[in-house]
Every structure is written in C-alpha cells, then in structure tokens.
Amino acid sequence: MTHIPAFFRSLTALLLWAFLLVIPVTAQHSMTQTQATQAALTPAEALQMLKDGNERFVNGTMLTRDLMAQVKQTASGQYPFAVVLGCIDSRVPPELVFDQGIGDLLSPRIAGNFVNADILGSMEFATAVAGSKVVVVLGHSSCGAVKGACDHVELGNLTHTLSNIMPAVYAASNDMEGPYTSSNADFVEAVAHMNVQMTVQNILERSPVMAGLVEEGELVVVGAMHDVGTGQVTFMDVNP
C-alpha cells in the first residue's frame, strides 16, 4: 500500500474541513416570490427580509440566484414584497443593497428620494395593486442631490428637482449651527435624514390609498439611511 506522508494527510483533512464549512453558506438559494408567498407575508416579515438581505450584503454572504430562471418564473406575473424609493446614486442599487432578486422589489428612483404625484401614483400601484407589504424611503450618506440643495445649486431642470429637498434644508438648519452648505458634512447628513423623515410623512399625508393600507395593518412605511462607505442600511422607527 502506498504510504501517504502525515503532512499530506493533515492537509487533506484541513481542506475537507474547510470545504464542509463553506457548503452551508454557498448552498443558500433564493426563492422567487409567488402570489401565495407574497400573500402569506406580514408587513413586519417583509421588512425583516430587507434587513436580513442587507446583513447578507454587508457580510458578503449573498444568496445564490439563477436570474434567468427568475426571468422565466416572473414572465407571467410579478409579486414583489417591497417598494424601495431611492436616490439615483449609482452606489445605492436597491436589489443589491438588500440582496434581492428579480420580482422582489419595485424601485422608483429620483435624485433626492422625494415624492411627487407621479411617484406617489406608482407607489400606490405597487402597494394597492401589486401587493407590496412595505415601503422604504432610502436616503444615503454623501448624497449629491442633498449637497446641491444645501448649496442652492441652479442648473436647468435640476433647479426644480432640488427645490423638493429645500424643506429639509430649512428644517435641519433650525436644529444645528452652520455653515449651512455642503462644506459642513454634519449638516449634509442632517438634511439627508430630515429629507427621509419628511418624505415618509409626505407619503402618508398625500396618499390616502397608502395611509389606508397602513391603518388596516396591510402596509408599513419606514425611512432608512444607507452608508455608502460600508453598505450598511440603518432603519428608522416604523411609522405607526
């Protein structure tokens, strides 16, 4: 019988042990939402799915997905469980940040993550028609739109866009010392947080449809902030 040196036997055992440790992580596969799984979710469970997804994203343990299989599975209908209203910033793609797949999220995006009648209408479709159980208003650190609003930037149509963030600029300036420009990083972050909070309130005040779903316990609307330096999302208190 061929003699195998003890060193190689130990190395083989070590590699096998490491391989077995990896299997439980890499073998985690995602599921595509169906009408039944969406209907069975509570708003609290839907929110937790987003929190769990972001934790996986930050830890580098994202689920394995067959995206083309999900394309085929969702071709005849979609049953997303969440709406994420986010900024257009390239560093904050909702499906990646929350480790979700095709058919999981409806993701309206606009510089400054605010709402207007068109976005509210889209979100009403997402919740009252498509059945999503949670709405997240997702702001982020180092937001260019917020910085532009802080500096009162004027540029073509962007001037009107940034005007939607100005209420948060004025509100934040009442709570802290200046300078009230993008040179003050603390002020920029305060405006970003305030903008998210005000957008959550705007959704509930300007959309009787979503406010009604919240009152019935069929929907939660919550703000959150994404740290572009770490990838972590911090959720604010859920609106009652």
The residues near 49 (Cβ < 8 Å, ≥ 6 apart) are: 41, 81, 82
Residues of 202-211 as b/e, b for ≥16 C-beta within 10 angstroms?
A: bbbeebebbb
- The pLDDT tens digits of the residues spanning 116-165 come to 999 999 999 999 999 999 999 999 999 999 999 999 999 999 999 999 99
- The pLDDT tens digits of the residues spanning 68-77 come to 999 999 999 9
The residues near 187 (Cβ < 8 Å, ≥ 6 apart) are: 150, 172, 173, 176, 178, 179, 180, 181
Report pLDDT for 29.
63
Cα radius of gyration (the chain): 22
* pLDDT above 70: residue 239: no
* pLDDT above 60: residue 66: yes
Question: pLDDT category, 30, cuts 50, 70, 90?
Answer: confident
Report pLDDT for 20.
41
Torsion of CA 55, 60, 64, 68, to 10 degrees: 100
Q: What is the pTM of this model?
A: 0.86
* pLDDT above 50: residue 24: no
Tokens standing for 70?
């999900």
In eight-state DSSP terms, residue 26 is: H
Q: Which of 22-26, 149-153, 166-170, 227-231 has the lowest mean pLDDT?
A: 22-26
Q: List the domains of the chain with CATH numbers.
A: 30-235 (3.40.1050.10)
- The pLDDT tens digits of the residues spanning 155-214 come to 999 999 999 999 999 999 998 988 999 999 999 999 999 999 999 999 999 999 999 999
* pLDDT above 60: residue 19: no
- The pLDDT tens digits of the residues spanning 34-60 come to 889 998 999 999 999 999 999 999 999
The beta-carbon contacts of 231-235 under 8 Å, at least 24 apart in sequence, are 231/54, 231/57, 231/58, 231/97, 232/54, 232/58, 233/50, 233/51, 233/54, 233/97, 233/98, 233/138, 235/47, 235/51, 235/136
Going across the sheet that includes 82-86, the strands are 105-106, 82-86, 134-140, 220-226, 233-235
